[in-house]
């Protein structure tokens, strides 16, 4: 399918023609709540000057809140939020020094991440045009407090405030997410400032050589085969695993590590780190918590338990911790960090499981220590200091002294549960502080450890009022193989004991079904634990450098298009909102997202038109330049529904969306509905030079299609009869596949059915022949 670039518009309007529209800027005063104009007698659909994907107070009647498992606006309409993570480039400062990393970590700046303020109108208008108006806005601890403990970057906070203040003008809403991966840039990921590792005793310039972290990805590594996908293994390495353990449970597992706080008092390392973390977050909330464009906050991206709960010092959980390349156990990491050469296992990619053990290698032959001699441990491994292990000088080898040290609380001797003992207590304290410093209606977003289902305890000890459960989902097989084709695998199922043949799928239909099963599992487990709590997939995306980066040479991104389509189709089937990973203006073909070899952004500033040539109207095709696989990303969806969504199907090869919803069955909910207009986003990207068709509505129902606002406004005659079902089919004419489809939705039978049939006939006649001969 080729997307038309013409500025020509086609309109299909019932009762009235489209209306002029102008956005409004953020206002500090509270929005006055009122009934939606659609309840007025003689109202013509689309008269209200808003649009489907407008989440500003003007577009939602005063804001968005939670009700049961749904986001709802102040008119009582169910809101389907979808958007993007902005942005992957915020993991590193604007002056990140690849060659001299770690460099002078105290003088870096994140001002201009994710993009300079002068570029903001271009990016925000682009996201509005694409209907991706809900943002997971990323900040890092390092961005706020890189200069030292208690020293906050006021210039950065002011920049963030100015940027987020612009969102309502473009109909955007955001939740601010504190991002981290593998604890910090200085332990191979992103997030915490360098001084957090130093205060624990690590030597920043010895972490890599001692095997305590993989840092090549910070120097633009990670793009060649032997380095690809290694960074998540850093969670199990000494520096990141130790820091996570100290942060969450230092009081219990490292009580000997005491540091001096800013008040001059000696405090535990856990108290020190958590106090600075919470104080830093206070500064973020104070900077942006009052803004209309900020819906809520997320405490931490992809939290990790560190060493807590590992079954023994000799192994990690294969199901949750990636095993690729050199994967030292906790005990082996201790020895490496203490300067002892150690032989560790090596894993390589495999099938059907992601990796397998293929050998061993001797590391740290130069006997470099990860610990500073002038640090709080006096150069000793912190876990040796706590008698978790020791060194037998007679045998010249390490000795495990407490095999299950991180599984059982050292004092109470009770089994450790990271969620109930560590995560929930901090989440509750953090939530209380956020709510004191911002408006009480700010929503809290929380997520589990990556690749884990929602634990049952989340609905009890972990329950927080006005909360959204925001897990992540990726196709782990494609993610780590960086390959995608007709054959796909349900790794989620395999890792939990699924019979292999049930985990294999073929074709586009197969991969849609595969992903649908996996995402439905996430949602169902959340529902079992949390009941009527909204679920939003906080991260989901596809690598753009699939299949050995073939698309960058050929310009054919069809496999990426198919993979993105399958993923979003699965999300639509589960009726959950999402924020795609990721929109990164700094993405390039050579370096991707310029962090650990990742390449997920389907937009690149280097491919886009300069700002001087851009128009910001929703119908401006100039905004699409720089985008890739837009036909699978930019899709129609019901943004605001007068009722409960039941079914959403979109076939990207034709441009047809089918949507079903019902009236409320709860009289109280029905009474709270103060609107009669459902608003559906249908992208101008698809409708330009075509006519839009709206079918399936009942007699008395009315609609208006306004391409300038990319919205189908639907007013159903009956929005009160409990349980009444509504159905609408929105399509374009000619259909997107009128000439030829962008791809065929194939499966095993469409590809191999004739051959299977012929084989069956051969077997039948051959058997008959054998029977006849032997008769």
Question: CA 726 to CA 703: how far, in whole Å?
Answer: 13
Domain 37-76+635-733 of CATH type 1.25.40.10: no
Nearest to 191 by CA among 273, 122, 71: 273
Q: Is 302 a catalytic residue?
A: yes
Q: What is the pLDDT of residue 670?
A: 79
Q: Does position 26 have pLDDT exceeding 50, yes or no?
A: no
Q: Is the dihedral of CA 367, 370, 376, 377 positive or negative?
A: negative
Q: Which residues have CB under 8 Å from 413's CB, separation 6+?
A: none
Give DSSP secondary structure letters for 320-370.
Answer: TS---EE---HHHHHHHHTT--EEEEEEEE-SSSSEEEEEEEEE-TT---S
Query: Which region among 214-223, 384-393, 624-633, 634-643 has the lowest average model confidence (pLDDT)?
Result: 214-223
* Tokens encoding 502: 């049930």
**CA–CA separation, 310 and 324 (whole Å):** 18
Distances (CA, A) of 348 to 204, 225, 492, 548: 28, 11, 19, 17
> Over 50: is that where the pLDDT of 27 sits?
no
Long-range contacts, 323-326 (Cβ 8 Å, 24+): 323/233, 323/347, 323/354, 323/355, 323/357, 324/229, 324/230, 324/232, 324/233, 324/348, 324/349, 324/354, 324/355, 324/480, 325/226, 325/230, 325/233, 326/211, 326/233, 326/361, 326/363
Is the per-residue pLDDT at 397 higher than 50? yes
Distance separating alpha carbons of residues 271 and 347, to the nearest angstrom: 37
Query: Do 264 and 287 touch, CB atoms closer than 8 A?
Result: no
Q: Is the pLDDT of residue 12 over 80?
A: no
Which pLDDT value is given to residue 625? 96
Catalytic residue among 142, 292, 302, 598: 302
CB 708 within 8 A of CB 617: yes
Q: In angstroms, rounded to a whole number, what is the distance separating the alpha carbons of residues 140 and 272?
A: 18
User: What is the tens place of the pLDDT at every residue in 191-203?
Assistant: 999 999 999 999 9
pLDDT at 587: 96
**DSSP string across 94-145:** TT--STTTT--TTS---TTSS--GGGHHHHHHHHHHTT--EEEEEE-HHHHH
The pLDDT mean for the chain works out to 92
Q: Is the dihedral of CA 20, 26, 27, 31 positive or negative?
A: positive
Quick check: 491 and 477 in contact, CB under 8 A?
yes
User: Is the distance from CB of 66 to CB of 466 less than 8 angstroms?
Assistant: yes
- Nearest of 483, 474, 489 to residue 225 by alpha carbon: 483
**In whole angstroms, what is the distance from residue 582 CA to residue 599 CA?**
9
Which range (243-257, 412-426, 657-671) has the least confidence?
A: 657-671
Average pLDDT over residues 467-493: 94
590 contact partners, CB below 8 Å, separation of at least 6:
none
Strands 78-79 and 637-641, bridge-based pairing: antiparallel
pLDDT of res. 30: 52
For 71-118, write each residue's pLDDT tens digit: 999 999 999 999 999 999 999 999 999 999 998 999 999 999 999 999
Residue 8 is predicted with a pLDDT of 29
Question: What's the confidence (pLDDT) of residue 3?
Answer: 38
Q: What is the CATH number of domain 82-196+278-304+439-625?
A: 3.20.20.80
pLDDT at 761: 80
Question: 151-168: buried (b, 16+ CB within 10 Å) or exposed (e) per residue?
Answer: ebbeebbebbbebbbbbb
Alpha helices (runs of H) in 412-482, residue ranges in sequence order? 418, 424-437, 476-481
The Cα-based distances of 566 to 279, 519, 563 in angstroms read 42, 11, 5
Q: 572 an active-site residue?
A: no
The catalytically annotated residue of 145, 539, 679, 707 is: 539
Question: Is the predicted pLDDT of residue 17 greater than 70, yes or no?
Answer: no
8 A C-beta contact, residue 434 and residue 444: yes
Comparing C-alpha atoms, which of 33, 112, 78 is closest to residue 641?
A: 78
The domain segmentation of the chain, as residue ranges, is 37-76+635-733, 82-196+278-304+439-625, 745-775
Q: Is the pLDDT of residue 277 over 80?
A: yes
Distance CA 457, CA 480 (A): 31
Task: Look at residues 284, 285, 256 and name the one whose alpha carbon lies nearest to residue 270.
Answer: 256
Q: What is the mean pLDDT of residues 119-148?
A: 98
Q: How far apart are CA 227 and CA 221, in angstroms?
A: 7
For residue 588, give both structure tokens.
């390039």
Q: How far apart are CA 341 and CA 768, in angstroms?
A: 69
Rounded percentage of the chain residues whose pLDDT exceeds 90: 83
Residue 18 in this model has a pLDDT that exceeds 70: no
Residue 567 C-alpha from the chain's centroid: 13
Residue for token digits 């300069």?
A: 610
Three-state secondary-structure class, residue 660? strand
pLDDT digit string, tens, across residues 36-85: 999 999 999 999 999 999 999 999 999 999 999 999 999 999 999 999 99
Closest to 7 (Cα-Cα) out of 619, 610, 616: 619
pLDDT of res. 6:
29
Of 553, 552, 516, which Cα lies nearest the Cα of 537?
516
- Helices 238-253 and 330-337 sit at what angle, rounded to 10 degrees? 100
pLDDT class for 19, splitting at 50, 70, 90?
A: very low
**Predicted pLDDT of residue 31:** 54
Question: What does the pLDDT read at residue 667?
Answer: 79
């Amino acid at each position: 399918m080729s997307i038309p670039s013409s500025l020509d518009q086609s309109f299909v309007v019932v009762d009235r023609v489209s209306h002029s529209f102008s956005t409004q800027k953020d206002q500090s005063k509270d929005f006055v709540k009122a009934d939606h104009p659609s309840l007025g007698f003689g109202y013509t659909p689309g008269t209200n000057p808003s649009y489907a994907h407008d989440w500003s107070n003007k577009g939602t009647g005063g804001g968005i809140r939670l009700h049961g498992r749904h986001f709802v606006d102040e008119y009582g309409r169910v809101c389907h939020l979808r958007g993007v993570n902005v942005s992957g480039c915020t993991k590193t400062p604007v002056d990140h020094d690849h060659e001299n990393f770690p460099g002078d970590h105290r003088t870096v700046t994140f001002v201009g991440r994710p993009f300079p303020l002068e570029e903001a109108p271009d990016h925000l208008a682009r996201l509005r045009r694409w209907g991706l108006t809900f943002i997971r806005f990323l900040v890092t601890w390092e961005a706020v407090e890189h200069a030292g403990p208690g020293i906050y970057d006021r210039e950065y906070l002011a920049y963030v405030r100015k940027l987020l203040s612009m969102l309502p003008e473009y109909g955007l809403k955001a939740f601010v997410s504190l991002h981290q991966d593998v604890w910090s840039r200085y332990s191979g990921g992103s997030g915490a400032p360098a001084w957090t590792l130093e205060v624990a005793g690590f030597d920043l310039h010895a972490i890599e050589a001692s095997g305590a972290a993989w840092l090549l990805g910070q120097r633009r590594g990670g793009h060649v085969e032997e380095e690809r996908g290694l960074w998540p293994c850093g969670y199990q390495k000494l520096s990141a695993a130790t820091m996570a353990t100290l942060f969450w449970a230092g009081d219990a597992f490292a009580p000997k590590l005491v540091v001096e706080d800013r008040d001059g008092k000696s405090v535990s390392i856990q108290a020190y780190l958590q106090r600075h973390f919470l104080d830093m977050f206070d500064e973020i909330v104070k900077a942006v918590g009052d803004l209309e464009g900020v819906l809520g906050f997320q405490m931490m991206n992809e939290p990790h338990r560190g060493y807590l709960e590992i079954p023994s010092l000799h192994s990690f959980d294969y199901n949750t911790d990636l095993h690729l390349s050199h994967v030292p156990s906790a005990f082996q990491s201790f020895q490496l960090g203490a300067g002892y050469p150690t032989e560790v296992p090596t894993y390589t990619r495999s099938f059907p499981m992601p990796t397998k053990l293929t050998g061993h290698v001797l590391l740290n032959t130069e006997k470099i220590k990860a610990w500073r001699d002038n640090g709080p441990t006096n150069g000793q491994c912190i876990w040796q200091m706590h008698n978790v292990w020791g060194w037998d000088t007679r045998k010249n080898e390490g000795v495990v002294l407490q095999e299950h040290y991180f599984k059982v609380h050292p004092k109470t001797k009770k089994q450790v549960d990271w969620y109930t003992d560590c995560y929930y207590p901090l989440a509750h304290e953090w939530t209380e502080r956020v709510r004191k410093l911002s408006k009480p209606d700010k929503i809290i977003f929380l997520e589990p450890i990556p690749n884990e289902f929602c634990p049952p305890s989340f609905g009890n000890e972990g329950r927080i009022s006005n909360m959204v459960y925001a897990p992540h989902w990726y196709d782990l097989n494609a993610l780590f193989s960086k390959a995608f084709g007709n054959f796909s695998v349900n790794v989620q199922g395999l890792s939990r004991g699924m019979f292999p043949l049930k985990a294999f799928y073929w074709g586009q239909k197969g991969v849609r079904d595969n992903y649908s099963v996996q995402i439905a599992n996430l949602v169902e487990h959340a529902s079992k634990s949390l009941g009527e709590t909204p679920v939003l997939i906080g991260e989901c995306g596809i690598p753009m450098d699939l299949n050995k980066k073939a698309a960058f040479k050929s310009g054919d991104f069809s496999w990426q298009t198919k993979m993105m389509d399958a993923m979003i189709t699965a999300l639509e089937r589960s009726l959950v909102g999402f924020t795609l990973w990721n929109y990164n203006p700094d993405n390039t073909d050579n370096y991707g997202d310029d962090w650990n070899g990742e390449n997920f952004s389907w937009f690149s500033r280097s491919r886009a038109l300069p700002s001087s040539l851009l128009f910001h109207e929703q119908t401006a095709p100039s905004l699409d330049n720089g985008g890739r696989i837009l036909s699978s990303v930019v899709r129609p969806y019901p943004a605001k529904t007068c009722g409960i969504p039941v079914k959403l199907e979109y076939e990207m090869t034709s441009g047809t969306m089918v949507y079903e919803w019902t009236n409320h069955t709860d009289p109280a909910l029905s009474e709270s509905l103060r609107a009669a207009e459902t608003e559906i986003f249908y992208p101008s990207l698809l409708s330009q030079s075509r006519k839009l068709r709206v079918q399936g509505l009942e007699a008395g129902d009315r609609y208006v299609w306004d391409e300038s606002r990319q919205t189908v406004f639907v007013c159903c005659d009956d929005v009160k009869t409990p349980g009444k079902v509504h159905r609408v089919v929105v399509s374009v004419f000619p259909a997107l596949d009128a000439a030829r489809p962008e791809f065929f939705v194939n499966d095993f039978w469409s590809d191999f059915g004739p051959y299977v049939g012929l084989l069956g006939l051969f077997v039948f006649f051959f058997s008959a022949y054998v029977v006849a001969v032997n008769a």
